[in-house]
Amino acid sequence: MTLLGDEEILNRLTGLDGWALDGQRIVRTFEFGDFVDSVRFVDSLVGPAEQMNHHPDVRISWNQVTVEITTHSEGGLTASDFALAGRISELV
C-alpha cells in the first residue's frame, strides 16, 4: 500500500462527513441512544473490517463510539483507510 500525501488526504476527507484528521489517522465519534446501541454499532463494524482485512481502533463510552483508522503497517494513511471509513459511515 502507498501512503497518501497531504493534499490527497484532505481531498478524500472532504468526501467523508464527520471524519477528521488526527495526526496519521482519521477519526469520527458516533453518538447513539445508549450503551446497547453503541455495542450493536461496534458489532456491525466486524463484517466490513474482516472483509477488507483492515481493522479500526474502537472506543466505547456509554452512548458514543469513537473509531480511529490508520494503516499501522505503513505508518500513516492509505486508500484503504478511506475505503473503510466510507463503509463504516454507511452503517449509521
- Tens of pLDDT, residue by residue over 36-58, are 999 999 999 999 999 999 999 99
How much is the pLDDT for 54? 96
Q: Is 5 exposed, middle or buried (0-12, 13-18, 19+ CB in 10 A)?
A: exposed
Predicted model pTM: 0.95
How much is the pLDDT for 1? 81
CATH code for the domain defined by 6-89: 3.30.1360.20
Beta carbons within 8 Å of 87's beta carbon, 6+ residues apart: 48, 52
